[in-house]
Structure 1
Amino acid sequence: MKKMLYFFLLILVALGLAAGVGMWKVHRLADSPLLIRDETIFTLKPGTGRLALGEQLYNEKIINRPRVFQWLLKIEPGLSHFKAGTYRLTPDMSVRAMMTLLASGKEAQFPLRLVEGMRVSDWLEQLRAAPYIKHTLKDDSYRTLASALGLTGPEQVEGWFYPDTWLYTANTTDVALMKRAHQRMVKAVDAVWKDRMDNLPYKDQQQLVTMASIIEKETAVAGERDLVSSVFINRLRIGMRLQTDPTVIYGMGEHYRGNITRKDLETPTPYNTYVIDGLPPGAIAIPSPASLDAAAHPAKSNWLYFVADGKGGHTFSTNLNDHNKAVRSYIQVLKDKDAQ
């Protein structure tokens, strides 16, 4: 009888030791770091169960004990309520921290920098190359984008998207991201339009955005934007053509090869402000908030001309004679640089 009792006691002790070792393995796995050495993007598909998740993590070399992992999910059931999505895993993350992340549903966010001064066509090219974007636009034409966003026409596309670093999660559509950028720009333009100076020669918001885009292409110097704006506003007020090269380049489209000839300046296009009077029919680039503000609040000046000074800024003039002197000075600066 005593031998039987000792036998059962030994079995209980063995079972206790086994359970203790098992729990130790479970907790050790939970607190151990992931096997990855670099940041890893992990995608968990809808409908994935506990066994499939363990196998996926093992096959992708993120954990090394899939069976112990199953016991972890049983012992800590709160970790088993994981959600489908795409997550960012880091080398310093423990298995428990990873499972907490998967249970939270906080998916990885990816940045896409959409820069001012670019065209919407450039942005659409970036979207095509961006990772984890779901592409729904059949092509990158402005007409297709306008239709997808419910705009009145392709002329409402250029200039009407807010430049920023946009964050998105996996499977965000190209249309959804562009809609966010468009809606924010509409709000920004509304605010600037309501706060604009009195008696500016704009018929509507479209013309303000167009002016802002020209300012954006003409200068990157923050302190000059309102001065450049004043030049164009002064010209509009006296009926003088804007004569700005960036509009010529935009009107040339794919024919532009890096320089402008006299023939280009004389060739009519809807955007060539050496030929047309007033503003072109639409924007030529994405304006920054600073350029929008400059278009709505030009400096008070008598400037009618400006030319690059060769030092990163511009020289402003009130008459053609002084302007021609500034042009000659700029050409000399370029020659001096070439001679060095």
Structure 2
Amino acid sequence: MKKFLLVLLVIVVIFGGAGLFGWNYYNGIGENPLKSDSDKVIVTVERNATLNGIFDDLAASGNLRNLILTKLYMMQHPLNTNIKAGTYEVPADATLEELVKELREGKNINEITVTIPEGYTIERMGGLFEDKGLFSKQEFIDAAKAYKHPDWITNVESRRYAMEGFLMPDTYKFEKGITPTYALDVMHKAFVKKMDAILKDLKIQSPNTRWNRIVTIAAMIEREAANTDEMPLVSSVIKNRIVKRMKLQIDATVVYALGKESTDKVTLDDLKVDSPYNTYAISELPVGPIANPGEAAIRAALQPADTNFIYYVLDPKADAHFFTANYNEFLAKKAEFSN
């Protein structure tokens, strides 16, 4: 009898110990669900992926201690599982809660932030993308040339790039491995969305067949104005010159016609460049936008200030333009500011 009781006690101790071990192991899943030979585990979340699917992937790659217990633990300890697509670097010693939080709020290591400033040309955008390591400048230029432009963009054969002006300057988040065409598509859709929003806000009815003209003017405003406050004034000069049938004579169009981004000074020889963009040579608007304008410039093109100004000259000390309707006053200020 004593022998039987001893055996029974041993059995109880063994199963009790196993149960305690199992319970501790189960709770340990919450504290340390991952396993890895390094201090990091790379977790990729595809679009529309579920957390259970992520657990399956981790188990398949040998980076999860126990698939069944992990899913069971999640059922007993619900968390916010609104995870987002991306690739994440998770510490190998992360808790289950920390793992899920990283997939929900963490930094996508394959995501690259690109800020396109107002007034950038397609060529400058290409250089920026190259600097960010997404693709080369030439690949972006080639893609811009081949991009299927909307039907309302006209005179394409005379333009340097049909899409110049119709890519919205903004801050974008792109994944490594995207194509230049994808980037162009995202920026053009952003432009269309922004144009629609501006027109709606200003209560202006303007079919997209007029967007060529609006954006061509906006691009000149963007490249000429010293600041956003000046933009409606520059716009008024352009409007007044068009009404008076005067050549626009805007230096920024010459710079673009020369294939440059900027120049210290436009020379008399520069003004002679044969180009449909050179507003010193043509008696109309340039054939297309000379840059990609931002929202302020587009608004100024749509709503120029009510002035009689037809001249302006930069005061380098004030970093602002002097505006006038008097030619002699313009010449006097030009001489003053050049000294």
TM-score by length of 2: 0.74
Match of 1:149 in 2: 148
Match of 1:237 in 2: 243
Equivalent residues of 1:137, 1:175 under 8 A apart? no
Q: 1:215 to 1:287 in 2, by over 3 A?
A: same
Match of 1:73 in 2: 70
Q: 1:138 to 1:254 in 2, by over 3 A?
A: closer
What is the 5 A alignment of 1:192-203?
none
Match of 1:267 in 2: 273
Q: Classify the secondary structure of the residue corresponding to 1:140.
A: helix
Distance 1:289 1:204 in 2: 17
Alpha-carbon deviations, 1:119-165, whole Å to 9, x = none? 0222233334446x5x69983336x4254334454743110111111
Match of 1:127 in 2: 129
Q: Classify the secondary structure of the residue corresponding to 2:173.
A: strand
Q: 1:307 to 1:82 in 2, by over 3 A?
A: closer
The CA RMSD measured in Å over matched residues stands at 4.0
Equivalent residues of 2:43, 2:90 under 8 A apart? no
Match of 1:20 in 2: 23
Q: 1:327 to 1:105 in 2, by over 3 A?
A: closer
Distance 2:82 2:231 in 1: 52
Alpha-carbon deviations, 1:221-259, whole Å to 9, x = none? 222111111111111111211111111110001597654
Match of 1:219 in 2: 225
Q: Classify the secondary structure of the residue corresponding to 1:179.
A: helix
Q: Classify the secondary structure of the residue corresponding to 1:265.
A: helix
Q: Classify the secondary structure of the residue corresponding to 2:140.
A: coil
Q: Classify the secondary structure of the residue corresponding to 1:308.
A: strand
Distance 1:231 1:250 in 2: 20
Aligned match for 1:316, one of 302, 305, 323: 323
Q: 1:84 to 1:289 in 2, by over 3 A?
A: closer
Q: Classify the secondary structure of the residue corresponding to 2:114.
A: strand
Which consecutive residues of structure 1, in runs of 5 or more, have no partner in the other structure?
A: 56-65, 333-340
Distance 2:96 2:321 in 1: 59
Query: Does 2:310 correspond to 1:304?
Result: yes
Match of 2:95 in 1: 95
What amino acid is the match of 2:58?
A: R
Match of 1:140 in 2: 140
Aligned match for 1:158, one of 156, 164, 184: 164
Q: Classify the secondary structure of the residue corresponding to 1:167.
A: strand
Deviation, structure 1 residue 317: 1.5
Equivalent residues of 1:241, 1:277 under 8 A apart? yes
TM-score by length of 1: 0.74
Distance 1:255 1:18 in 2: 70
Q: 1:95 to 1:72 in 2, by over 3 A?
A: farther
Identity %: 25
Number of residue pairs matched?
A: 307
Deviation, structure 1 residue 76: 2.8
Query: Does 2:292 correspond to 1:293?
Result: no
What amino acid is the match of 2:321?
A: H
Equivalent residues of 1:41, 1:87 under 8 A apart? yes
